[in-house]
Amino acid sequence: MLYKSTFGTGEDLVLLHGWGFSGRIFNNLIEEYSKKYKITIIDLPGHGKSSQINDYQSWYKEIIKILPSNSIIVGWSLGGLLAIKIATEIQLKKLVLIAASPKFIQDKDWQFGIDKEIFLNFAESLEKDPIKTLKRFISLQSNSKDKLKKIKNTIESNPPTLDGLKNGLEILMNYDLRKELSLIKSNITVYLGEKDTLIPKEIKTWYESKGVSTFILKGGHAPFLNENFYI
């Protein structure tokens, strides 16, 4: 069963977090937007307070079951990839992607991804020492020591399960939603991190070739921690 919590009043706004984290990563956005929106935070399977769902292909289906109708979805990183998949299944009022890509793995016709060997090594490292691997991943989110400390605290209070982390990596390694993104009828906006080492800002040209409004924010892979953005 997936855990969700709700804050504020107004239009329905759903926040989907990234790999290894929980909805608590969005605390600053809740404070910023809860006076305008009814915000729903959902912990992904095996993350935060949500139960594990071993079939990673059904993650998005479980999220859809608890989504408010005609909502705005903000998806960050892995949450963004899932949000793209959700938008191919149901009508959303708006889709906002932060440091997200329809395909995380690089190949001969996709230069905006991560080398698959790096992902495989990461998965192997996760198996051997999940805590060390997660800490290494946290260090990629921001250059600010203060912000990294806050990020670390959000994870330590609600740590993900090893199976949740493994299944999340499976989604990141196997989903290729480039064609699906082109068919989405919802309004889409993308925000990228200027210093992101996982999703390069150069992907902006690909998004814009698909007619998607794309903006560059300050910071790394979690730019919403450094700069507010318009929903």
Range among 60-64, 132-136, 143-147, 154-158 with highest mean pLDDT value: 60-64
The H or E element that residue 41 is part of is strand 37-42
CATH at residue 194: 3.40.50.1820
Which sequence positions are flagged as catalytic?
77, 196, 221
Tens of pLDDT, residues 173-200: 999 999 999 889 889 999 999 999 889 9
Domain assignment of residue 231, yes or no: no
Tens of pLDDT, residues 12-52: 999 999 998 899 899 889 989 999 999 999 999 999 999 99
Q: What is the pTM of this model?
A: 0.92
Using the structure block, give the residue that is written with the tokens 């729903």: 40
How would residue 118 be classed by pLDDT, with cut points 50, 70 and 90?
confident
Separation CA 13–CA 68 (nearest Å): 8
Question: What is the percent of the chain where pLDDT is above 70?
Answer: 91
Number of domains in the chain: 1
Mean pLDDT over the full length of the chain: 90
Domain assignment of residue 18, yes or no: yes
Long-range Cβ contacts of 54-57 (<8 Å, 24+ apart) = 54/163, 54/167, 56/167, 56/168, 56/170, 56/171
Domain range for 173: 4-225
Least confident interval from 34-48, 80-94, 151-165, 175-189: 151-165
- The closest of 117, 120, 97 to 203, measured between CA atoms, is 97
Which amino acid type is present at position 205? T
Domain assignment of residue 42, yes or no: yes
Separation CA 87–CA 79 (nearest Å): 12
Domain assignment of residue 33, yes or no: yes
Domain assignment of residue 115, yes or no: yes
Domain assignment of residue 26, yes or no: yes
Domain assignment of residue 230, yes or no: no
Domain assignment of residue 60, yes or no: yes
- Asked whether residue 1 carries a pLDDT value surpassing 80, the answer given is yes
